[in-house]
Amino acid sequence: MESASVAAGAHTADDHDHHGPPEAHQSSRIDRQTLGILLFIITEAMLFGAFFASYFFLRVVANEGSWPPEPFELPVAVAFVNTLILVSSSFTMHWALESIRAGNKRGLQMGLVTTLLLGGTFLFIQLNEYIHVGFSARDDAFGSIFYGLTGLHGAHVFVGLTLLAIATTRAFRGHFGSDAKDHLGVEVPGIYWHFVDVMWIIVFTTVYIL
């Protein structure tokens, strides 16, 4: 009887010390960083959705038979090469993550550096395209939506490169390990980078191909 009272007292003390909702079961837990980036990506997808809605609305309103309308011309071949570059960076990002999961820190470093170089090349080519494309964001509604949609993606690439630069710096300082919690700093930027790549495939297909 006395032991039961002691146990009950200890349980009451534990309940008193615990604040907030009960801890989630281990099987239902997700890292806060991973959950945060996934929720952020959902909001970003909605932002892109608004731009795509504006783009297709413009196409329906224009309805002149040809797209893009005269006299706009888009460098499809250059954009296609740029797409291959960015898609390749997803594979190198995956290589980096799988390397650190296997405890291969050298592979992690090489994968991140290669991803940075490919992402930087993509951004450089896009900026060069803006210089030589022959129209600006002030030229008709098409110019505005073209620069708005591709520029929005370019801004996301820049943010992704910033995150990758931080991860690369940490990788060369030996901050990451093979344990799941020890490489979240690689996995979270990797999730964001894959999102950026997928969004570009959609942007490229919508703006340059359809």
- 0.85 surpassed by pTM: no
Out of 12-16, 95-99, 136-140, 166-170, pick the least confident.
Answer: 12-16
Evaluate if residue 160 carries a pLDDT over 90: yes
Cα–Cα distance measured from residue 146 to residue 153, given in angstroms and rounded to the nearest whole number: 11
Ordered by start, the domain boundaries in the chain are 30-209
Task: Name the pLDDT band for 123 (thresholds 50, 70, 90).
Answer: very high
Task: Name the pLDDT band for 29 (thresholds 50, 70, 90).
Answer: low
Cα–Cα distance measured from residue 184 to residue 186, given in angstroms and rounded to the nearest whole number: 5
pLDDT tens digit string along 31-73? 777 788 888 889 999 999 999 998 888 888 766 667 777 777 8
Cα–Cα distance measured from residue 17 to residue 32, given in angstroms and rounded to the nearest whole number: 23
Cα–Cα distance measured from residue 169 to residue 98, given in angstroms and rounded to the nearest whole number: 18
Helix (H, G, I), strand (E, B) or coil at 185: helix
CATH fold, domain 30-209, is Four Helix Bundle (Hemerythrin (Met), subunit A) (1.20.120)
- Mutual orientation of helices 105-132 and 184-204 as an angle, nearest 10°? 30
